[in-house]
Structures are given as C-alpha cells and as structure tokens.
Chains A and B, each alone.
Chain A
Amino acid sequence: MSTSKSIEEMLFPAELRYSKEHTWVQATGATLKVGISDFAQDQLGEVIYVELPAEGDELDQDAEFGVIESAKSTSDLFMPISGEVVAVNHALEDEPGLVNQSPYQDGWMLEVKPSEPAQLKDILSAEDYLGLIKKEA
C-alpha cells in the first residue's frame, strides 16, 4: 500500500473515532457526522466523484453507503454505524476535491441518526486507528 505523504504527516483528530473501513465519526448531539480519514483520501489521490445516499435512507452498520472515485481507483464506502441518513454533503457533488482538501471539515459526507448507539464501541480511537493503518501501510 503506498501513500503520497507519510503517516506521520497525516492528521487524525483525537476527538473523532474511526472505523476499520477508514471512515471517521464525530458526535454532534443526537446525530453523528461521517467522512473518510486523511489516510483514506491520501490513498485515493485526487477525488473526482462521490456518490452518496439520499436523506432518509436507513442503512445498517457495514452496509455500502456510496462510492468514491479518483482517476486511479474506486472504492466503496461503508457505514460505520447503523442509522438513518439525515443529511448529506451536497457540496461534494460539484466539489469532490473537498474530501482531499478538508477531509474532517468541508469534506464530510453524511449526518446519521444512529439506531444502535451501542455500536460505537466497535469504532476505534485515533490512537488505535493509527496503529491499524501502520500495520496496513
């Protein structure tokens, strides 16, 4: 697995949690925001297309929620937690590069109302996620 920047250069905010499928989750009151990690966007390269679900869709943990494509690769996106999609980042339709430029802020993808909050225990801390990607890299 190759990256354009070293893992030490990547950012993994401690206040977020991370799935093994390289999405991040941020608690925002009753909902959770979801996006992909700095490691994932770096692996993909320049993102040119993001397909996201519709608001109102109900998806299970680990279900495919979308597709992200760069010139060199295409990847499925997987739900870190079960729940209803209450918002999607429509800005990515015209500016998919936001995922590269700002993976944890402007490049967010979904806002989810979790149906099984207990699943959060399956999601890794920043420290544990860093350990995981060091093994993968």
Chain B
Amino acid sequence: MAVTIYTATGCARCKIAKKYMAQKGVEYRDLDIKAEGKDEFNRFYRENRKSVYRGPDGIEFPVYFDGQVVKQGLGVVVGHVSSPKVAGFFGVGLLHGEWVDGIHISQGDPEAIDELVEALAYLKSAGMKFEMDTDGRNPQVLERLLAEGLGDVLIVRLIGTKDMYAAQGYDLAEVEKTMALAAKFPEYRFALAVRPVVRPDGAVEYLKPEEAGEIAAWVKEATGGNKHPFVLTPFDLKAAADERFAGLAPLEAKDLFIYRSKARAHQVMAAIA
C-alpha cells in the first residue's frame, strides 16, 4: 500500500522527512492536516488513536502510515525510511527546533550501523543536531559516529555498579569503552538515577550512597578523568511498572545530597539535576 505522510502546516521537520523519502524513491501522498488532509487525518486519527503518540506539544509530526505501521517524528521516520533494520535505534523524541533526540545507541542492532550512519548523515546535512543516549552497550556504534562527525550530545545512563551490570549480563569492557568514548563527544554527561535495586536476597531498597560513589569511581577508572559532568536524579517511582517498588517512599532532591557527596569524591562535578 502507498505511504501517506500527514504533515502540519509550516512543519520544517516534515519537509526534511519528505525530502528524504523523495531521495530514497519512496512514493507517498502528502496531506496537510490543516488543509486538504484535514478530514482524512481526522478519520485516520479516530481509527488509529491508540497507535498515535502524543508528546507534551501534542501529536508528533510528521506522521507516516503505510497502511500497517504508524511512524512518528523526524528521527523515527527518517530511520525507518533508511532501513527498518535501524528501527531499534530510534524512539519518538521530545526535543524540537534543530534537535533530534530519542536516539538510543544501546538499543539498536549494531549490524545496521551503515544504515544508521546514512540516516544521521542526512539529518546532519539538513542542519539537525543529535542528543543520543546509551546504557553502555554498542560502543562500536559510538566509535563510528564519532569518526563520522555525527556526535553532538551523548547521555550515558548508568544503571549501577560493576556488579549490577555484570548481574544483568552486560559486557563490562563494552561499558567501559562507552564511558571512555563518551568523554570525546562535544557535549556529554553521565547520568545516574538513584533507583530502587532488587538485592540477590530479594530485598528491595534504593541504591546506596556508597554505591553511587563506587559508580563515580568506575567512571574515573574507565575514562582516566574525575571532572566529567555527572548528574544524579531522583527516580520517578510513579513511572515504575515494577510492583516490588510499591512500598518505597519517593526520594526528593534533598535526599540526594549524600549521594552527591559520595560521588564527588571521584567526580568533582557531580550535581543533582
């Protein structure tokens, strides 16, 4: 079935997506939801409402629909058109203007690195900048993006201590390589959410301040530096689906002071977001 792309009047991101589709030889119908496409979009929305993503600013445009799948947002649409194999790298983002976010380095298939580079290179040529994130996997992807000049901002979302990473099956050498590469990005930060942890004996408690210090020390060891942007954030319990966390009291920013002190012993720029 032919592709329909729903756009909003004056949406520059929609124009960038359409230009890429034309370059790739993808035939599409272009419908402006404020003009000729208004009635059709309203019908489409009512029929596919549960599949349509709404961000803080409303429906994310462009909306791509091939009769089966709905794809939304500049990064997601360009990634999908480049190759469905890169889909794991892209999620719908929240940033606008010249930014594309929702680029999850650790969640994509590293075998699709060429297709990812192609999609990002196109977006870069259109004047876009990237905010990417990673949990430490796929350092080879980061290395390639740095070599191609496609790295702008990288957030390394730390999930725990070495032991916690190992328990979850991560390759520690990969995570350490990611940490070292992160420091080469034009802008980057290490982000640690002070989250609930399920201990080996089944006990559920927050990450300990000493463990935050241990993680900050690991970043120092992997990067050879102690002056990296290192941000501590309270974990959003309301957003957690894990029922084991239900009995925990939410942490407030002031509860993180002790975590910051422990982290600052190894990363002097540690701060609470």
Contacts of A71 in B (CB 8 A): 8, 33, 58-59
Per the bound structure, the CA–CA distance linking A73 and B42 in Å amounts to: 14
* In contact, A74 and B42 (Cβ under 8 angstroms): no
Q: A71-B8, A71-B33 are in contact. Are A46 and B38 (CB under 8 A)?
A: yes
Per the bound structure, the CA–CA distance linking A49 and B41 in Å amounts to: 11
Per the bound structure, the CA–CA distance linking A46 and B8 in Å amounts to: 12
- Interface check A48, CB cutoff 8 A: yes
Per the bound structure, the CA–CA distance linking A93 and B45 in Å amounts to: 12
* In contact, B34 and A46 (Cβ under 8 angstroms): yes
Q: How far, in Å, is B53 (CB) from chain A's closest CB? A: 12
* In contact, B57 and A48 (Cβ under 8 angstroms): no
Q: How far, in Å, is A59 (CB) from chain B's closest CB? A: 22
Contacts of A74 in B (CB 8 A): 54, 58
> Residue-by-residue, is A33-57 near B (CB-CB < 8 Å gives 1, otherwise 0)?
0000000000000101100000000
Which residues of A89-111 have CB atoms within 8 Å of chain B's CB atoms? 93, 96-97
* In contact, B49 and A49 (Cβ under 8 angstroms): yes
Which residues of A13-70 have CB atoms within 8 Å of chain B's CB atoms? 46, 48-49, 69-70
Which residues of B does A touch, CB under 8 Å?
A: 8, 33-34, 38, 41-42, 45-46, 49, 54, 57-59
Q: How far, in Å, is A88 (CB) from chain B's closest CB? A: 16
Contacts of B59 in A (CB 8 A): 71-72
**Nearest 3 A-B pairs (CB), nearest first?**
A72-B58, A48-B42, A71-B59
Residue of A nearest to B59 (CB): A71
Q: A48-B46, A70-B58, A72-B59 are in contact. List 16 more A-B contacts (CB 8 A).
A: A46-B34, A46-B38, A48-B42, A49-B42, A49-B46, A49-B49, A69-B49, A69-B54, A71-B33, A72-B58, A73-B58, A74-B58, A93-B46, A96-B42, A96-B46, A97-B42
Q: How far, in Å, is B52 (CB) from chain A's closest CB? A: 10
Which residues of A does B touch, CB under 8 Å?
A: 46, 48-49, 69-74, 93, 96-97
Residue of A nearest to B45 (CB): A48
Q: How far, in Å, is A6 (CB) from chain B's closest CB? A: 21
Question: Taking each of A71, A73, A96, A97, which has the highest tally of chain B beta carbons within 10 Å of its own beta carbon?
Answer: A71
Per the bound structure, the CA–CA distance linking A69 and B45 in Å amounts to: 10
Contacts of A72 in B (CB 8 A): 57-59
Contacts of A69 in B (CB 8 A): 45, 49, 54
Per the bound structure, the CA–CA distance linking A73 and B54 in Å amounts to: 8
Per the bound structure, the CA–CA distance linking A58 and B45 in Å amounts to: 29
Contacts of B46 in A (CB 8 A): 48-49, 93, 96
* In contact, A49 and B45 (Cβ under 8 angstroms): yes
